[in-house]
């Protein structure tokens, strides 16, 4: 018995020693392709950050992100969870028919605060119509595909609460009902938190009707499948080795129109709404408008003088290519990356309309909407 214990202790110490040695000798990674995010680097030390606890917190994040062979260990954990018939991993439920779902917790004060930020923003604007669209995520529309006893808060209740607290001057765009009516179609990716291009098209039709625009029908577009191996954000968290990839479609206009896209950073401008090279990366959803940027400006050959500001999360990226066929310019602002005075920016650019577009999971938790109060 003592010999067995000694062998276990020696084996454990060798394992810990090997991991420690590998950690010291292995170069830190800047980016995780599997998680599609930038990884934490070794934090700068100072006595102020040490005494405040900031250094310790950042160091813990660094160790977690840079743990040796992290992808292997997370894959092993996910495989173990799956074999053990667990219903979730890292907050992602293993649903039926290949669906992955992210749990939606009951919203707190941030949702109320963000609604108040919207009201304050709309009150500052004159001769401008503000439209608000808050989209559900897939877990709200497919409860029958959830594992037994899987918990999630009611998104429709949260969305309705936002609508009911908005000023009467704000135009609400109902997208929940049209999506629910189309749930038998492919409107959400199974491995990702975004809606598909078809789901975005349904949302576009709802937005266009609210804005007094005659929306195009599907017959006006050629629908082309451009990827059959898309694994999204839910897959990155769940690490489910049995997951099958999604397909990505684009809707290419049959009518005559051209586009150009520029960014508020050093990203080169594009003469297309799509960054085709992203299909060769882990983040294939960046196909749409080249992914996340603080400011993105879409120009079209629709010379009607209409300009639209879109305050958004990434749900807008697949929808804006449809709206670009009705506006001369669309200015997309992501408050996570830019904190510009939007009222002044609209006056400077001559923008007449605003669409605020978020999915409910982001809207309920994003602290950056406070920048609307500038």
Q: How far apart are CA 94 and CA 87, in angstroms?
A: 5
Ranges under pLDDT 70 in the chain: 1-2, 5-8, 11-13, 15-26, 30-38, 63-85
* Judgement on whether residues 263 and 145 belong to the same structural domain of the protein: yes
The reply to whether 337 falls in a domain is yes
- Same domain as 88, residue 177: no
CB atoms within 10 A of CB 106: 12
- Pull the structure tokens for residue 154: 């009611």
Kindly report the length of the chain: 374
Q: Are residues 87 and 173 in the same domain?
A: no
CA distance linking residue 165 with residue 308, whole number of Å: 24
Strands 92-94 vs 100-102: parallel, antiparallel or unpaired: antiparallel
Give yes or no for a contact between 142 and 101, defined as CB atoms under 8 angstroms apart. yes
Distance set, CA 275 to CA 18, 32, 271, 281 (Å) = 42, 20, 10, 11
pLDDT tens per residue, range 53-81: 777 877 777 766 666 655 665 655 555 65
Buried b (16+ CB within 10 A) or exposed e, 309-318: bbbbbbbbbb
Cα 164 from chain centroid (whole Å): 25
Residues 205 and 169 in one domain: yes
Total domains in the fold of the chain: 2
Claim to verify: residue 88 and residue 113 sit in the same structural domain: no
Contacts of 88 (CB under 8 A, 6+ apart): 81, 94, 103, 147, 150, 238
Residue 102 lies in a domain: no
* Nearest in space to 366 (alpha carbons), one of 111, 36, 37: 111
| pLDDT of res. 306 | 95
Residue 25, in any domain of the structure:
yes
Give the pLDDT score at 48: 77
Residue with tokens 């050629």: 222
Alpha-carbon separation of residue 197 from 85, 188, 194 (angstroms): 33, 8, 9
User: Where do we find the tokens 């005659």?
Assistant: 214
Q: Which of 63, 97, 131 is the last residue of a domain?
A: 97
Task: Assess whether 45 and 114 both reside in one domain.
Answer: no
CA distances from 94 to 90, 162, 325 (A): 11, 29, 38
User: Are both 268 and 369 inside the same structural domain?
Assistant: yes
Tokens at 357, concatenated = 């577009």
In this structure, the answer to whether residues 223 and 86 fall within a common structural domain is: no
At 115, list the tokens: 């609604």
User: Does residue 195 lie within any of the structural domains?
Assistant: yes
The whole-number pLDDT of residue 255 equals 97
Same domain, 260 and 359: yes
Q: Within this chain, do residues 158 and 306 fall inside the same structural domain, yes or no? A: yes
Sole residue written with tokens 């009516």: 181
- pLDDT for 120 equals 96
Q: Give the global pTM.
A: 0.82
Domain containing 331 equals 107-373
Predicted pLDDT at 192: 97
Q: Tell which of 52, 67, 97 closes a domain.
A: 97
Q: Do the domain assignments include residue 80?
A: yes
């Amino acid at each position: 018995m003592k010999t067995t214990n000694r062998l276990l202790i020696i084996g454990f110490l060798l394992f810990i020693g090997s991991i420690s040695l590998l950690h010291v000798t292995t170069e830190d990674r800047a980016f995780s392709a599997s998680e599609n995010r930038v990884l934490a680097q070794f934090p700068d030390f100072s006595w102020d950050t040490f005494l405040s606890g900031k250094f310790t917190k950042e160091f813990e994040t660094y160790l977690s992100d840079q743990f040796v062979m992290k992808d292997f260990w997370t894959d092993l954990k996910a495989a173990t969870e799956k074999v053990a018939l667990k219903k979730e991993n890292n907050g992602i439920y293993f649903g039926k028919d290949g669906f992955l779902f992210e749990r939606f917790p009951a919203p707190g004060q941030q949702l109320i605060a963000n609604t108040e930020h919207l009201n304050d923003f709309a009150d500052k604007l004159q001769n401008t119509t503000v439209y608000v669209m808050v989209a559900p995520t897939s877990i709200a529309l497919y409860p029958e595909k959830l594992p037994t006893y899987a918990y999630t808060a009611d998104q429709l209740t949260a969305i309705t609460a936002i609508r009911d607290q908005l000023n009467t001057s704000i135009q609400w765009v109902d997208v929940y009902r049209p999506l629910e009516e189309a749930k038998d179609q492919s409107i959400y990716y199974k491995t990702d938190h975004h809606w598909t291009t078809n789901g975005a098209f349904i949302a576009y039709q709802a937005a266009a009707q609210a804005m007094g625009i005659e929306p195009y029908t599907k017959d006006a577009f050629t629908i082309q499948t451009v990827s059959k191996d898309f694994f999204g954000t839910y897959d990155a968290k769940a690490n489910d080795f049995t997951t099958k990839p999604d397909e990505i479609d684009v809707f290419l206009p049959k009518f005559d129109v051209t586009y150009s896209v520029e960014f508020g950073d050093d990203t080169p401008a594009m003469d297309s709404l799509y960054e085709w090279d992203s299909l060769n990366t882990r983040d294939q959803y960046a196909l749409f408008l080249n992914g996340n940027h603080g400011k993105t400006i879409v120009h079209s050959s629709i010379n009607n003088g209409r300009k639209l500001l879109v305050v958004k999360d990434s749900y807008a990226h697949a929808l804006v290519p449809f709206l670009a066929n009705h506006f001369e310019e669309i200015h997309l602002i992501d408050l996570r990356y830019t904190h510009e005075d939007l009222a002044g920016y609209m006056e400077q650019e001559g923008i007449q309309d605003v669409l605020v577009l978020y999915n409910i999971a982001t809207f309920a938790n994003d602290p950056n909407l406070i920048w609307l109060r500038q």
